[in-house]
Structure 1
Amino acid sequence: MKIVFDFGGVVFRWHPASFLARVWPHRIETLEQGAQVASVFFQNYGGDWGLFDQGLIGADEVVRRISARTGWPRGEVETVVRAVPDELMAIPGTVVLIRDLKAAGHTLHFLSNMPEPYADHLSQTYPLSEWFESGIFSGRVKQSKPGAEIFSMAERQFGAAPSELLFIDDHPANIDAALARDWQAFLFTDAASARRELVSRRLLNA
């Protein structure tokens, strides 16, 4: 079995509401406000941010577009865009899970919607080549989840039939897209529940 990890919210911390509350304390006082602002800022990863995710526009252009669309000052928007790498910290429980899966003999890959500047940051900061056999960043291939093409690319790059791939992601739409291609998949909520799921599938010992 080849196990494929999403990155944001699974391997690396990504909680937009608390992230924005930390970066924009003058605008956001509660996590509820943070969630509301995040839905406008990131557009559920469509729109401007979706183009950034796919590597179709760069950081300067996404800042310009978000500022023009929302009326937020460009400098404030740029502060958020520049702060994302500090948010993307490895989740300790998932790192242990990765090491345990490798020790159990499984081959691991990643499939991540990630703008190219952040992909570069993660590649330079963390031992991705030690954790994973290979992987795909959306910003480098100009495709993104839940589109079918990036899953097709993954099947070819990972050298596996769909039924041989198990996908772990925190977005239901991405899980549905994987299942539609006959991948195995389950929704990630935290490392402990993911471990229980992997044990139930007999991919890890209890």
Structure 2
Amino acid sequence: MTIDAVVYDLGNVVLHWAPEVFYDATIGKDRRIALFDALPLHEMNDQIDRGADFRQTVYDFADQHPEWGDEIRMWHDNWLQMASPAIPESVTLLRALRAKGIPVFALTNFGVGTFEVAEKAYPFLTEFDKRYISGHMKMAKPDHDIFAALEADCGVAPDRLLFTDDRHDNIATAKARGWNTHLFEGPAGWEACLKRHGLL
């Protein structure tokens, strides 16, 4: 089957997303484990990814849990350190695809405010032909609706899309919709996938 467009996840595909690594380095592993065991920080972040205000969501959550207030506010104040560094090999592959005239889209769970921060730090985020950002769309992976919205907007048939993501649940939804998929475990495997499909 011919691939007409490639769809990239962003976190852990073109840039690292590792809050736990940041907290381990900042407050120590034991305290980080206690923090993440005590509070649903990733669920808080999911609200941001679905369109909630970045700063207000984090700071309100900190006010609700004053015993962890300083640590929670780091999610906002030190966010870029959690979303770093870039994965340069993946960016190189993105640029190689576009240089061949292959449309490349981003489909990502990203808040409005966090994406503004990331875009300033990582100018390559502007290089996608289309960007489907969950915070702007007020829907998020792995729900089917965000995949359906991409299909409707880009006009490419599902079986002509090739999607890479590092999460099994997101891959499962794409497969269920008829997309071609690749579970991202590193840029070398992704490059090999692109070559198998004759795209590079």
For the aligned pair, the TM-score class normalised by the smaller chain equals: 0.7 to 0.9
Report the Cα distance in structure 1 between the residues aligned to 2:174 and 2:38, rounded to whole angstroms. Answer: 27
TM-score where L is the length of structure 2: 0.85
Instruction: Give the Å deviation of 1:96.
Output: 1.0
2:159 aligned with 1:163: yes
Corresponding residue number in structure 2 for 1:128? 125
Tell whether the 8 Å contact from 1:14 to 1:87 is kept in structure 2 after alignment. yes
For the aligned residue pairs, the C-alpha RMSD in angstroms reads: 2.3
Amino acid at match of 2:166: D
Corresponding residue number in structure 2 for 1:15? 18
Report the Cα distance in structure 2 between the residues aligned to 1:201 and 1:124, rounded to whole angstroms. Answer: 33
Corresponding residue number in structure 2 for 1:80? 75
Instruction: Give the Å deviation of 1:82.
Output: 2.0
Instruction: Give the Å deviation of 1:158.
Output: 2.0
2:175 aligned with 1:175: no
2:48 aligned with 1:52: yes
Instruction: Give the Å deviation of 1:79.
Output: 1.4
TM-score where L is the length of structure 1: 0.83
Corresponding residue number in structure 1 for 2:91? 95
Corresponding residue number in structure 1 for 2:7? 4
Amino acid at match of 1:76: E
Report the Cα distance in structure 1 between the residues aligned to 2:195 and 2:37, rounded to whole angstroms. Answer: 35
**Paired residues, what number?**
195
Deviations along 1:69-118, whole A, 9 cap, x unmatched? 6x642122101332122332321111111112222331101011011111
Amino acid at match of 2:77: R
Tell whether the 8 Å contact from 1:23 to 1:83 is kept in structure 2 after alignment. no
2:144 aligned with 1:144: no
What SS is found at the alignment partner of 1:111?
strand
Long gaps (5+) in structure 1:
none
**CA 1:118–1:58 in structure 2 vs 1: closer, same or farther (change >3 Å)?**
closer
Long gaps (5+) in structure 2:
none
Report the Cα distance in structure 1 between the residues aligned to 2:36 and 2:12, rounded to whole angstroms. Answer: 15
Report the Cα distance in structure 2 between the residues aligned to 1:187 and 1:170, rounded to whole angstroms. Answer: 5
Report the Cα distance in structure 2 between the residues aligned to 1:76 and 1:15, rounded to whole angstroms. Answer: 15
